Amino acid sequence: MTARTRRDSLAFLAFVAPNFILLGVFVFWPILYSLNLSFFKWNMIAARKTFLGLENYKNLFEDPVFWQVTKNTLILAAATVVIKLAISLALALRLDKGVKGSSVYRAIIFSPTFTTSVAVAMVWSWIFEPTFGLLKVFLSPLGIASPHWLLDVNYSLPAVIIVLIWSGIGYDMVIFLAGIKNIPREIFEAARVDGASPWQNFIYITFPLLSPTTFFLTITSFIGALKAFDVVSIMTDGGPLNSSNVIVLYLYQNAFQWFKAGYASAMALILFVIIMAITLIQNRLSRRWVHY
Amino acid sequence: MDASTIRRGAGMAARKAFTHAVLAAASLVIGLPFLWMITTALKSPAEVAQFPPIWWPSVLRWDNFSKAWSLAPFGRFYLNSVITASSGVILEVMIGALSAFAFARIKFKYSGFLFMVMLAAMMIPGQVALIPNYVVLKSLKWINTYQGIVVPHVSSVFGAFLMRQYFLTIPASLYDAAEMDGLGHFRTLTRIALPLARPVVGTLVLYLFISKWNSYLWPLIVTNKQNMRTLPVGLAIVRSAEYAIGPEHLMAASLFVLVPVLAVYVAAQKQLIEGIAAGAVKG
């Protein structure tokens, strides 16, 4: 080993050390520690932990609230992703036309991406207010009586989904737009010469060539929705009767309100496994079928 | 002009009008909640409880803001948010730049492997780490401290990746010249690479600042004293407090949290949107 190589190696390690120490302590090690905690009963205060083996997991699978929360999370993720992607793709296609004022439209529609989620949840709680809320203005002319959105077991989850769609459309739209701009214009020129209609353009050119973007957004939005917390916590706190409760909120309640650290860790591990599985499937599939 | 050209022209105008209609409708749906927040914050209690609602109050109640400000120590929340968000951004950018430079410019046998390890961290959901991080911070006695809010979230993966990509595009001749001048790695980073990467670093700083300013779950967990709450946590607690708080005051308080973010967004929206688009396409 030359002096130069040695010096470089040391410099490299010194440069990456702060990042890797932090990643180790706050990102990688917590997975192992969560796994370990999930075998214990512990309130995060007592010096002693009680070993339970797989008891936490067994209880979790027998916990009807956990199943409801998992179901809610999956419904929320699926509904949010499908509706959000459909709307944002339609808007991206419109923005791509480059009409005057497009950059203003884009800036407005994108703005919720950076808007503090807690404040978003506040204003939407007020919009959903059944007597004086803004939504009633749009529902009453249609002859629809405003439900007690946030207090009704049938409407609390849809209310949360609406807010997540509202917040997320802009980001997806901007990513779709970038994807559309990446499609070589000559293909559309050729199609135009062949007399393709705008609809045919979309079905045979834009949509297939956008599939990497669509796929990327589907996966990232789905994973993002699995981690939903802020809006749910503020708007409904998971209620009423857990009708809008989701995995991360239930995890938080178990760990930091009821001090069941072991039980919550088991939940964290399950969430981790689900998200890793989706990520691995993404890696596999994106190699196989996505049309580049 | 023959008839078919005119027809085509009319068709194009119709399509354009349709495009405008769709985009304007979407902008309205996205924009209305913001407007609703602002007008509510300026209404009297009687106007708040009016249906159909009035869009612009007859007298603008600016005193709603001073009333909201006095409902909780918002001055302190501001201070806490400014301190934690800015120190977090500075640390994360520094840590990320060091890693980025190492991966871009310094030779090391296991550099490729370590790079994969770093990227793998991006896939791990932070929610898994909540309990372990809390336990670690508690043993460090960092609960209710600024370092407790900041330090667990200053490791840099996305930023390091972004800056590395940029450092790789800087011509090797510049690095060679720096070496000839006797600059070590650190000074090459601070005097050559970082100044050249200013556009990327600038976008990263804005992006990180907004996301740290907005963060809710971690500051909620790691603080339990009123005087250590950040703005979003403070706002949430004001609402859940026992005393009744009117929508006009709640919206005014929400605007305390939002105004800095919206100001950054309005000033730099083009840079932020294009940064996001470019990052996602390349990444």
The residue among A10, A41, A118, A124 with the most chain B CBs within 10 A of its CB, best to mutate, is A118
Residues 54-93 of B with CB under 8 A from A: none
CA distances from residue A193 to A186, A190, A199 in whole angstroms, order as listed = 10, 5, 15
Task: Please report the pLDDT score of residue B243 as a whole number.
Answer: 60
Q: Considering the domain boundaries, does residue B260 fall inside one?
A: no
Q: Tell me, what CATH number does B77's domain have?
A: 1.10.3720.10
pLDDT at residue A292, as a whole number: 46
**Do B221 and B144 share a structural domain?**
yes
Q: What is the pLDDT of residue A188?
A: 85
The DSSP secondary-structure symbol of A115 reads: S
pLDDT given at position B280: 53
Options 3.40.50.300, 2.60.120.260, 1.20.1050.10, 1.10.3720.10; CATH for A68-288 is: 1.10.3720.10
Total domains present in chain B? 2
To probe the interface with B, which of A116, A120, A202, A234 has the most B CB atoms within 10 Å?
A116
Which pair of structure tokens corresponds to residue B36? Answer: 């609703």
Which residues share a beta bridge with A40? Answer: A51
Q: What is the pLDDT of residue A143?
A: 81
Model confidence at B282: pLDDT above 50:
no
Contact B46, A127 (CB under 8 A): no
For residue B85, the chain A residues in CB contact (below 8 A) are none
Mutate to test the interface with B, among A114, A175, A192, A249 (most CBs of B within 10 A): A114
**pLDDT reading at B281 higher than 50:** no
Token pair recorded at residue A251: 């995890």
Closest chain A residue to the Cα of B271, Cα to Cα: A107
Query: Taking CB atoms and an 8 Å cutoff, what residues of chain A touch B257?
Result: 116, 118-119
Instruction: Give how far the C-alpha of residue B92 lies from the chain's centroid of Cα atoms, to the nearest Å.
Output: 13
Name residues 28-47 of chain B within 8 A of A (Cβ): 29-34, 36-37, 40
Report how far residue A227's alpha carbon sits from residue A246's, in angstroms, rounded to the nearest whole number: 8
The Cα of A258 is separated from the nearest Cα of chain B by a number of Å equal to 13
Candidate from B27, B130, B154 with C-beta closest to A22: B154
Q: How many CB pairs under 8 A join A and B?
A: 272
Is residue B221 domain-shared with residue B118, that is, in the same domain?
A: yes
The SS3 of residue A183 is: coil
Give residue limits of the domains in chain A: 68-288
Residue A51: phi and psi, rounded to 5, are -75, 130
The two structure tokens encoding residue B111: 């550099």
When mean pLDDT is compared across A55-59, A87-91, B160-164, B279-283, the lowest value belongs to: B279-283
Q: In chain B, which residues have their Cβ closer than 8 Å to the Cβ of A169?
A: 26, 30
Contacting residues of A for B265, CB less than 8 Å apart: 111, 114
**Mean pLDDT on B115-135:** 93
* pLDDT interval class at B7 (50, 70, 90): low
C-alpha count within 13 angstroms, C-beta hemisphere, residue A158:
9
Q: Does residue B217 contact residue B226 with C-beta atoms inside 8 Å?
A: no
B106–A8 C-beta distance less than 8 A: yes
Q: Are residues B31 and A108, on separate chains, in Cβ contact within 8 Å?
A: yes
Q: Mind telling me how many Å the CA of B43 is from chain A's nearest CA?
A: 13
The pLDDT of residue B260 is 93
Flag whether B279 is in a domain: no
Is B124's CB within 8 Å of A28's CB? yes
Please report where in the chains the tokens 């917590």 appear, as a residue: A30
Beta bridge partners of A50: A41
pLDDT digits (tens, 9 = 90+) for B200-216: 999 999 999 999 999 99
CB A148 within 8 A of CB A132: no
CA atoms B104, B109, B114, B115: torsion sign: positive
pLDDT band of residue B2 (cuts 50, 70, 90) is low
Tokens of A28: 């990688």
DSSP characters over A5-31? HHHHHHHHHHHHHHHHHHHIIIIIHHH
Task: Compare all CA atoms of chain A with the CA of B268 and give the residue at the minimum distance.
Answer: A107
Q: Do A5 and B107 touch (CB under 8 A)?
A: yes
Q: What are A41's strand-pairing partners?
A: A50
* B259 vs B7, residue with greater confidence: B259
Q: What is the 3-state secondary structure (H, E, C) of A194-256?
A: CCCCHHHHHHHHHHHHCHHHHHHHHHHHHHHHHCCCHHHHHHCCCCCCCCCCCHHHHHHHHHH
Q: Is residue B231 part of a domain?
A: yes
B47 with B98, same domain: the answer is: no
Is A84 strand, coil or helix?
Answer: helix
- Whether B55 and B173 map to the same domain: the answer is no
Confidence at residue B3, expressed as pLDDT on a 0 to 100 scale: 61
Contact present, A132 and B48 (Cβ < 8 Å): yes
Q: State how far the Cα of A98 lies from the Cα of A100, in Å rounded to an integer.
A: 6
**Residue B102 within a domain:** yes
**Is pTM, for the whole model, over 0.90?**
yes
Q: Do residues B122 and B44 both lie within one domain? A: no
- How many angstroms separate the Cα of B260 from the Cα of each of A9, A11, A103, B264? 43, 39, 22, 6
Count CB atoms within 10 A of the CB of residue A74: 16
Instruction: Report if residue B253 sits inside a domain.
Output: no
CA distance A269 to chain B (A): 7
Nearest Cβ partner of B16 from A95, A99, A117?
Answer: A99
- The pLDDT value given to residue B242: 55
pLDDT at B12: 81
- Give residue-wise pLDDT tens across range B94-117: 999 999 999 999 999 999 999 999
Structure-block tokens of residue A2: 């030359």
Is residue B114 located within the same domain as residue B51? no
What would the pLDDT profile of B220-263 be if each residue is shown by its tens digit?
A: 999 999 999 999 999 999 887 756 788 999 999 999 999 999 99
Domain with B9, as residue range(s), is 3-62
Amino acid at residue number A287: R
Distance from CA of B263 to the nearest CA of A (A): 11
Asked if residue B196 lies in contact with residue B171, where contact means CB atoms within 8 angstroms, the answer is no
Alpha-carbon distance B72 to nearest alpha carbon in chain A (angstroms): 16
The reply to whether B44 and B134 lie within a common domain is no
- What burial class does residue B26 get, using C-beta atoms within 10 Å of its C-beta: 0-12 exposed, 13-18 middle, 19+ buried? buried
Going residue by residue through chain A (292 aa), what tens digit of pLDDT does each one get? 688 889 999 999 999 999 999 999 999 999 999 999 999 999 988 888 899 989 999 999 999 999 999 999 999 999 999 999 999 999 999 999 888 999 999 999 999 999 999 999 999 999 999 888 889 888 888 888 888 999 999 999 999 999 999 999 999 999 999 999 988 888 888 888 888 888 888 898 899 999 889 998 999 999 999 999 999 999 999 989 999 999 999 999 999 999 999 999 999 999 999 999 998 888 888 776 555 4
Nearest chain A CA: its distance from B276 CA (Å): 8
- How does DSSP classify residue A186? H
Task: Based on the fold, state whether residues B233 and B168 are members of the same structural domain.
Answer: yes
**Chain B residues near residue A275 by CB distance under 8 angstroms:** 123, 125
Q: Mind giving me the DSSP string for chain B?
A: --HHHHHHHHHHHHHHHHHHHHHHHHHHHHHHHHHHHHHHHTS-HHHHT-SSPPSS-SS--THHHHHHHTTTTHHHHHHHHHHHHHHHHHHHHHHHHHHHHHHHH---TTHHHHHHHHHHHHHS-GGGGHHHHHHHHHHTT-TTSHHHHHGGG---SHHHHHHHHHHHHS-HHHHHHHHHTT--HHHHIIIIIHHHTHHHHHHHHHHHHHHHHH--HHHHHH--SGGG--HHHHHHHHHHSSS---HHHHHHHHHHHHHHHHHHHHHHHHHHHHHHHHHHHH-
Residue carrying structure tokens 């060091």: B98
Q: Which residues of B touch A16 (CB under 8 A)?
A: 98-99, 102-103, 114
Residues B96 and B188 grouped into a single domain: yes
